[in-house]
């Protein structure tokens, strides 16, 4: 018995992607025996989270997350007097437009976009690799009767979609669509966050990195960083809708280049878009890193008590908002990707997207493979657990070209 424990410990040290709640890693006979007296799924995943805690990593991750949240909560981002009343009126009008008397499935709400007819492709450079800068007219417009249409449609720089592309010449290989998190959207931050050099050179993948609406070159100069999530909730609603629209067009473009295998890999807000996309488009694998899955709930979690109460009083947070966001929520769709090719990693002490968001997505996805790493939201970047997990899961789902 002692030697078995020692061997198990050695395996876990050598292969840290063997997550304790990853169902496919357990032997079928052991799973059958465990079912008789095992804990509920919620208790099991919380045990896995608690086992991921370490003192230093937890303190460092928590501290950095709090600095990040402080930057996102500066006074100029707070609503002024009357802003919440205006937003509440917009929510009511949008709910009446999109949800009044008729439940609409996300698959019906998100129309299939047309193929890209004109695209600009320019060579670009990064210290780790050469890549291409793609740009094209998005074509997404908020309907004229939408209460936020004038504001959203007048974000001029947002009309042009951008993406960073690193592709190989020669034989066809898998394409991975990498969707960045809130506040990034530039090649330096995105290449580092996704470890693009390793994915492209060592795993041999073609990469497409779309820029989310209101980010990077799409951000109007007057808006602060990370404006996609602000008290103007309809901007988040249309931002997600447009991100889905633009990325589906890029998926079509990749298939036109000969792609036969396409995966999605999202970080934070990019995980939200990836998880929603996986329910609307047929992709081969999907990885949700430090995921967000419920935007209204995230606002409730982070809003100061007095602002939360004022928002509820003005109809900004409530039933109408939740019903509206069901149209753009990954919790409203099931991935077309098979269960064994859905993966999640999350910080055990994430103060930004919170572990509860990861738990809810894990439950909704049918409890796929998940890896809890010791740390917070931002500290995934230097975690020794995340990179092996992602690489192993890409290998497992056929997203690696070892003979290039």
Tell me: the pLDDT tens digits for 90-99?
999 999 999 9
Determine contact, residues 137/119, Cβ cutoff 8 Å.
no
Determine contact, residues 49/372, Cβ cutoff 8 Å.
yes
pLDDT, residue 95, reads 95
Tell me: the pLDDT tens digits for 351-380?
899 999 999 999 999 999 999 998 888 888
pLDDT, residue 322, reads 95
Q: Distance between CA 15 and CA 174 in Å, rounded?
A: 24
User: Judging by DSSP bridges, how do beta strands 206-210 and 262-267 pair with one another?
Assistant: unpaired
pLDDT-derived band at 347 (thresholds 50, 70, 90) equals: very high
Please name each of the domains of the chain with its CATH number. Answer: 55-107+134-232+246-396 (3.40.50.1820)
Strand ranges inside 188-277, DSSP E: 206-210, 262-267
Report which listed range, 39-43, 67-71, 173-177, 222-226, is most confident: 173-177
pLDDT at 64 over 60: no
Q: Residues 245-261: what's their mean pLDDT?
A: 96
Q: Distance between CA 52 and CA 189 in Å, rounded?
A: 26
Tell me: the pLDDT tens digits for 291-328?
999 999 998 888 878 888 888 888 999 999 999 999 99
215-219, 347-351, 378-382: lowest mean pLDDT where?
378-382
pLDDT at 1 over 60: no
pLDDT, residue 365, reads 98
Question: For residues 8 and 73, which has the higher predicted lDDT (pLDDT)?
Answer: 73
Q: The pTM is what?
A: 0.83
Determine contact, residues 270/212, Cβ cutoff 8 Å.
yes
Q: Distance between CA 397 and CA 404 in Å, rounded?
A: 18
Alpha carbon 52 to its chain centroid, in Å, reads 22
Tokens encoding 196: 């693009």
Tell me: the pLDDT tens digits for 120-167?
999 998 888 899 999 999 999 999 999 999 999 999 999 999 999 999
pLDDT, residue 60, reads 55
Q: Residues 102-125: what's their mean pLDDT?
A: 91
Determine contact, residues 391/345, Cβ cutoff 8 Å.
no
pLDDT at 404 over 60: no
Cβ count within 10 A of residue 150 = 10
pLDDT, residue 381, reads 86
Nearest to 267 by CA among 282, 289, 242: 289
- 318-345: b or e for each residue (b if 16 or more CB lie within 10 Å)? bebbbebbbbbbbbbbebebeeebbbbb
Backbone angles phi, psi at 398, to 5 degrees: 85, 15
């Amino acid at each position: 018995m002692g030697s078995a424990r020692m061997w198990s410990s050695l395996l876990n040290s050598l292969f840290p992607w063997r997550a304790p709640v990853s169902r496919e890693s357990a032997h079928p006979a052991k799973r059958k025996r465990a079912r008789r007296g095992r804990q509920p799924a919620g208790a099991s995943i919380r045990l896995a989270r608690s086992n991921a805690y370490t003192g230093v990593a937890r303190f460092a991750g928590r501290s950095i997350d709090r600095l990040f949240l402080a930057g996102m909560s500066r006074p100029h981002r707070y609503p002024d007097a009357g802003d919440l009343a205006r937003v509440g009126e917009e929510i009511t009008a949008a709910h009446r437009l999109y949800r009044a008397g008729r439940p609409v499935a996300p698959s019906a709400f998100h129309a299939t976009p047309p193929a890209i007819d004109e695209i600009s492709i320019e060579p670009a450079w990064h210290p780790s690799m050469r890549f291409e800068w793609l740009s094209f007219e998005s074509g997404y417009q908020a309907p004229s009767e939408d209460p936020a249409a004038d504001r959203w449609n007048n974000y001029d720089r947002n009309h042009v979609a951008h993406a960073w592309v690193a592709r190989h010449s020669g034989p066809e290989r898998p394409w991975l669509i990498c969707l960045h998190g809130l506040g990034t959207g530039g090649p330096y931050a995105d290449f580092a966050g996704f470890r693009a050099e390793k994915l492209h050179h060592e795993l041999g993948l073609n990469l497409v990195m779309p820029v989310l609406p209101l980010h990077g070159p799409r951000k109007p100069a007057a808006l602060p960083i990370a404006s996609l999530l602000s008290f103007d909730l309809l901007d988040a609603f249309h931002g997600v809708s447009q991100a889905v629209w633009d990325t589906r067009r890029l998926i079509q473009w990749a298939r036109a280049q000969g792609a036969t295998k396409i995966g999605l890999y999202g970080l934070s807000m990019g995980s939200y878009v990836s998880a929603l996309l996986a329910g609307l488009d047929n992709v081969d694998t999907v990885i949700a890193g430090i995921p967000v899955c419920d935007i209204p709930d995230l606002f409730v979690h982070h809003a100061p008590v007095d602002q939360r109460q004022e928002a509820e009083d003005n109809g900004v947070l409530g039933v109408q908002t939740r019903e509206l966001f069901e149209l753009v929520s990954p919790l409203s769709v099931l991935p077309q990707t098979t269960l064994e090719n859905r993966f999640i990693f999350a910080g055990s002490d994430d103060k930004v997207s919170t572990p509860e968001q990861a738990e809810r997505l894990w439950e909704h996805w049918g409890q796929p493979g998940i890896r809890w790493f010791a740390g917070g939201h931002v500290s995934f970047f230097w975690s020794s657990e995340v990179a092996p997990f992602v690489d192993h899961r890409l290998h497992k789902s056929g997203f690696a070209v070892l003979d290039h």
